[in-house]
Amino acid sequence: MTDTSSRVAADATEIVHWVDGAELTGSPTGWADVTNPATGQVTGRVALASEADAAHVIASASRAARSWATMSLARRTQVLFGFRELLNARKDELAAIITAEHGKVHSDAMGEISRGLEVVEFACGISHLLKGGHSEEASTGVDVHSKRVPLGVVGIISPFNFPAMVPMWFFPIAIAAGNAVVLKPSEKDPSAANWIAALWREAGLPDGVFNVLHGDKTAVDALLTSPDVAAISFVGSTPIAEYVYETASRHGKRVQALGGAKNHMVVLPDADLDLAADSAVNAGYGSAGERCMAISVLVAVDPIGDELVARIADRTRTLLIGDGTKGGDEREADMGPLVTKAHRDKVSSFIDSGEAAGAKVVVDGRDVSARGGEQGFWLGPTLFDDVTTDMDVYTEEIFGPVLSVVRVKTYEEAVALINANEYGNGTAVFTNDGGAARRFEADVTVGMIGVNVPVPVPVAYYSFGGWKRSLFGDTHAHGTEGVHFFTRGKVVTTRWIDPANRPEGGLELGFPRND
Ligand code: NAD
């Protein structure tokens, strides 16, 4: 259950599953509160699926998958284009839902939707992406062709921090490739998934192809173990990603499980310090640091540490913290609240422990004054200097607006820090030296690298994924790796008898040769 201490809004809603093109309450094991983090009010409660509910949704998806897979590519593509048009026209509505349950500011919610839309646009090209190969006369009178076919039912399990974009890393491609989807969103901000499901119906997607199963571990375990689910795409924290990878693999599924992160941004002495300071603030505190690609460690290479910290601190102090609802004429807040009270308190306790361990608190987010409800889950941006690698503010993924500056003497020390870290999601280098940047790109054991770009989330036609304990499995999200993940290959070897040129038959029990 999420926080229950807050007040319940008079118009609180019930959020239930979406199956066969309609809402379904099923027989929940319980309900979890959904809060507006800017007011602290309980605005709804979401059904937690029982095993029977999960079985019902999976069975519906299985039925729909069979007919959807045989629908022509032309018709499937038309549905994708329809979905793209509707989403683009109505993305403001979805952004408002995200802000109300997640807390990120409206423009940030619009940003996540536009990055998800990119994947929908990529999936609109599925006809091209699914083209196979053909070899004529591979052997005498024998042709060979390959194709990629859908898997059936695929499960997507997503985290709270991107309720629209992360599911959209997967479902446009999964659906375009001919699969049916069961999405298990985070119980903290579940409404975006239902809004998206209704949009699919409006776009003409047959009922049962896109389903939403709300819930907790019971719902997740049902997806991981069901013989009728062929693949799992998971995004969330590393311990759960590892559990999902191991459990689903043991049950014969292909799995991509994306986990947590601790992203380092290295600033070399020749860097443009204003660009670096702007980037550190944007990437450290955007979405209140609740991004897997947030910068949480800034590595300042001597001698620029003092100057860089001063410029970051100046900028940080100008940030407006507040309710992220799209305001009238008011300046939009830069940063919203944290997702729940429990999470805000946990992040705040990291600030206590960093201070106690001897890190220097340059800007203290615990003193925040925010524009919004008194009961909101507020925490201001915090800047630590002189952080060392034994402090838990360095070793733990905090997932909040806390930026830790670590000082090093050399480039080599900076790279050693990154490569010793258990995570390998994203990293960035700030420099004006092309040679150093090129060396950095080769040296780091990280999946996504930015050069003077602090949040290097790949565009949709490339693939998103980290290394080490940031990803379990070998396939990254979206791009051609996504197409590969949601399809399996077939190779067909064909011989047609031409009466005018009939090959000699006869018995031959040796292994077939090509000649
Ligand atoms: P989380 O691991 O708590 O939850 C993710 C999903 O797993 C949710 O749907 C949740 O209901 C489910 N879940 C939670 N506990 C479970 C359990 N014991 N058994 C089965 N399922 C369970 O993650 P979160 O707090 O929602 O999201 C934040 C985390 O996600 C951070 O660690 C962040 O780095 C990570 N993340 C990673 C990426 C990436 O691309 N690598 C992207 C976004 C978020």
Name 393's Cβ contacts closer than 8 Å, sequence gap at least 6.
Answer: 350, 351, 353, 354, 357, 359, 384, 387, 402, 404
Query: In whole angstroms, what is the distance from residue 427 CA to residue 442 CA?
Result: 12
Residues facing 42 on adjacent strands:
8, 35
* Greatest C-alpha distance within the chain: 89
**pLDDT reading at 332 higher than 90:** yes
Q: Which residue has the CA at smallest separation from atom 10 of ligand 1? A: 186
Which one from 79, 292, 370, 403 is the annotated catalytic residue?
292
Distance CA 218, CA 216 (A): 6
Secondary structure letter of residue 287 according to DSSP: G
Taking the centre of ligand 1 as the mean of its atom positions, its distance from the CA of residue 72, in whole angstroms, is: 35
What average pLDDT does the segment 442-447 reach? 98
Residues with CB under 6 A from ligand 1: 157-162, 166, 184, 186-187, 216-217, 220, 235-237, 240, 258-261, 292, 397, 399, 425, 466, 470
Quick check: is 124 catalytic? no
Q: Is 141 left (phi over 0), alpha (psi -120 to 50) or beta?
A: left
- Taking the centre of ligand 1 as the mean of its atom positions, its distance from the CA of residue 235, in whole angstroms, is 6
Quick: pLDDT tens for 236-269: 999 999 999 999 999 999 999 999 999 999 999 9
Complex ipTM tops 0.95? yes
Phi, psi of 256 (to 5 degrees): -125, 120
Q: What is the mean pLDDT of the chain?
A: 96
Quick check: 479 and 473 in contact, CB under 8 A?
no
pLDDT of residue 1: 43
> Is residue 295 helix, strand or coil?
strand
Q: Tell me the pLDDT tens digit for each residue of 469-502.
A: 999 999 999 999 999 999 999 999 999 988 887 7
Q: Among 240, 262, 427, which residue has the most ligand 1 atoms within 8 Å of its CB, making it the best to mutate?
A: 240
Give Cβ neighbours of residue 506 (< 8 Å, ≥ 6 apart): none
Calculate the CA 264 to chain-centre distance.
19
pTM for the structure as a whole: 0.96
Sequence length of the chain is 515
β-bridge partners, 150: 487
Q: Is the pLDDT of residue 2 over 50?
A: no
What are the tokens at 225?
Answer: 């173990």
Terminal CA-to-CA distance of the chain, rounded, Å?
A: 66
The pLDDT confidence band at residue 218, using thresholds 50, 70 and 90, is very high
CA dist 31 and 291 (Å) reads 26
- DSSP letters along 167-236, please? HHHHHHHHHHTT-EEEEE--TTS-HHHHHHHHHHHHTTPPTTSEEE---SHHHHHHHHH-TT--EEEEES
Q: Which pLDDT belongs to residue 513?
A: 79
Residue 70: pLDDT over 80: yes
